[in-house]
Structure 1
Amino acid sequence: MIEVLEAGLFTTIQDSGRAGYQKYGVSVGGAVDTVAHRLANIVIGNDENDATLEMTLQGAAFHFREAALLSITGGDMQPRIDGVPVPMWRPVYVHKGNELRFGNAVKGARTYIAVAGGFQADEFLGSASTYLQAGFGGHEGRAFQKGGTLERNRSSAMSERIVDQLTEKRINGPFAASDWWVSDMAVPMNNQGEAIRVFEGRHHHLFEEESIRSFTEEAYQVDTKSDRMGIRLKGEPLNLSVKEEIISEPVTFGTIQVPQNGQPIVLLADRQTTGGYPKLAQVASADFSKLGQVKPGDKVRFMMIPHREAERLLLEQEQYIRWCRSAIRRKVEEGHI
């Protein structure tokens, strides 16, 4: 059992989301940074869809009432176990009685914690993801509070092998960690000034040429009103050249809508299922994780790419994640922890 000593700003249980129910008005939800969530599970031998903890902007603190295998990925919230810095993107074995604490995000916006077996959670429509707007999934359909507890599911055989290998290592501190970690190649963290790649949206042709040019040439600032539903941007207003009535239609993660004030909104995991604002662009799937790591005050730039290029980037990302999974399994089987 793990006790929540401090809840952080916004800490919830998330998995890969509940697909297939948008036609009933139920959002997919799930982890905002899907790559960080998946890799957190993969490096400790979990199924990549197992429930993880997602912390936003300010981290939480936990007391381990029993030893546990975990991993930490995503944004850097300066994790420490009993005051000792904890390496990220690798398996970490924590001893019974130790405390894991996080600070504010110094890079990125969201940090993920996975434990061997995944966190136990309330499932709804086949998913453990917390959906606050409707109050279901995760931990009683809400964010964690101080004093809450977390239980783990049964560990996989691979997770047990990682634990055995880590406990055999000479430990000079409050935890043991592997010598290897996931390469930065698999971590598409957003950096200031680095463009987020997009392709033309359904209503791209309705916008003024000058607005389309501004969209890719000017930087936008992330508004403080941004949340898991979407990122609100502030910058050069985007104007329509053709005033056309838009019928509400399906939207998805990364859809960039432009309301009447001309300030774009980029939809995220807890987005609504349909929208009636013009859709200027769509973020390439390979850059969803970059999108999930921007925080209020950050500057965001966009780069238009062909749809075929967006497909290639996603296939390349998926291939690398598969390679990571295979490489980690091989290291564990060979005892190279």
Structure 2
Amino acid sequence: MSARLLIGAAGPGVTIQDEGRFGLSRYGVTPAGPMDLGAYLAATRAAGADSAIEVSLGGMTLRADGATLCVAVAGGEFDIRLDGRPMPSACLLPLAEGARLVLRAGASGAWCYVAVGGTLAFAPTLGSRATHARSGLGPRPLAAGDALTLAEAAGAPLEPLALAAPWLTSSAAPIRLVLGPQADYFAPEEIEAFLNARWRIGARSDRMAYRLEGPAIRHRRGHDIVSDGVAMGAIQIPGDGAPLALMADRQPTGGYPKIATVIGADLGRLAQLRPGEDLSFRAVDWDEAVAARRAYFASIDAGATREPLGAEMTTESLLAENLVGGVVNARD
């Protein structure tokens, strides 16, 4: 029997993602792909996988069937449990047949990635296995009862390992962006208001766009432009003045002016913000944006370090052990 990954439970928005389908935007096809590319690469490279399960705040439960699987998890600070034992939020582990891996929303972060060593048996759609739910491209979102077959399964480590990946570290620093490409549609004081405001991620945010709640940003040349291509991180200002940060499932083109674009090195930090969390922005020039991107990917290319897990003394782990070796009467 082929090795399989069995889905015991899956919250909304749990999908299969690879790096996305590129070169097709001119045909109206969105790239899709991971919300946090750095976390995705940390998981897939650690496990030796060509795709991953993107897990949202609803979490999921997994079991291995037919073999011990090599599984890597990376992303936000999710609560990860292997048969009840706490795991680091970034880890590489052997998932033995019948073992239960549970992922729940933890202290911070909106997305994490589960990569299984080998190749999941999904046929590519337009050259990619990435799910884009709105258009029905790629595998459908995962649900309880699904079984994912591995066409090839990689060898698993002997014991769980912690992954230390500096690019996964959360930060409260402002999200960096470059102004434009339609910054001239806004008066200088409106751009200053945008940069000086404290914004909040709106409840109606999703993989297509994050809605930013804060002051209304007014246009000086109208709010319609000839539709042009949009990139992940582009911040559109529609007619109501409420900014939209376009994300992985963005539309290929848009007809609202874009006041700024989040730099590539900070897209993961933006994606990991939850609805209700605050953020601010800082404008940088092109040279700083390019330098930050190079440093970010150089860190990823250097790879995550792997460290054996130390024995973690928690109430849960202590209660699972037989700690009583005998009884002594103090009067004897």
Structure 2 gaps, min length 5 = 308-332
Contact 1:247 1:276 in 2 (8 A): yes
| TM-score of the two chains, using structure 1 as the length reference | 0.85
Q: Given the alignment, which residue of 137, 146, 150 partners 1:148?
A: 146
Q: Given the alignment, which residue of 173, 176, 182 partners 1:197?
A: 176
Question: How many Å apart are 1:266 and its aligned residue?
Answer: 0.4
Structure-1 residue corresponding to 2:228: 249
Q: Given the alignment, which residue of 10, 15, 39 partners 1:12?
A: 15
Rg: which structure is higher? 2
Query: 2:167 is matched by which residue type in structure 1?
Result: A
Structure 1 gaps, min length 5 = 168-175, 332-337
Q: Identity percentage over the alignment?
A: 30
Question: How many Å apart are 1:250 and its aligned residue?
Answer: 0.5
Give, in whole Å, the separation in 2 of the partners of 1:248 and 1:108.
33
| TM-score of the two chains, using structure 2 as the length reference | 0.87
Q: In the superposition, relative to structure 1, how do residues 115 and 83 fare at CA in structure 2: closer, same or farther (>3 Å)?
A: same
Structure-2 residue corresponding to 1:79: 80
* Structure 1 SS opposite 2:111: strand
Question: How many Å apart are 1:144 and its aligned residue?
Answer: 1.1
Contact 2:174 2:281 in 1 (8 A): yes
Question: How many Å apart are 1:95 and its aligned residue?
Answer: 1.3
Give, in whole Å, the separation in 2 of the partners of 1:31 and 1:119.
16
Contact 1:40 1:72 in 2 (8 A): yes
RMSD value, Cα: 1.8
* Structure 2 SS opposite 1:215: helix
Structure-2 residue corresponding to 1:35: 38
Q: Given the alignment, which residue of 197, 200, 204 partners 1:218?
A: 197
CA deviation vs aligned residue, 1:229-273 (integer Å, no higher than 9, x gap) = 010111011112233751110001000000000010000011000
* Structure 1 SS opposite 2:164: coil
Alignment of 1:31-180 (within 5 A): 31-46=34-49, 50-65=50-65, 66-138=67-139, 142-155=140-153, 159-160=154-155, 163=156, 166-167=157-158, 176-178=159-161
Query: How many positions carry a matched residue from both structures?
Result: 303
Question: How many Å apart are 1:215 and its aligned residue?
Answer: 1.2
* Structure 2 SS opposite 1:153: strand
Query: 1:98 is matched by which residue type in structure 2?
Result: A
Contact 2:223 2:256 in 1 (8 A): no
Give, in whole Å, the separation in 1 of the partners of 2:68 and 2:239.
53
Question: How many Å apart are 1:28 and its aligned residue?
Answer: 0.4
Contact 1:28 1:270 in 2 (8 A): yes
Structure-2 residue corresponding to 1:334: none
* Structure 1 SS opposite 2:136: coil
Q: Which has the higher strand share?
A: 2
Q: Given the alignment, which residue of 193, 206, 215 partners 2:185?
A: 206
Give, in whole Å, the separation in 1 of the partners of 2:188 and 2:296.
32
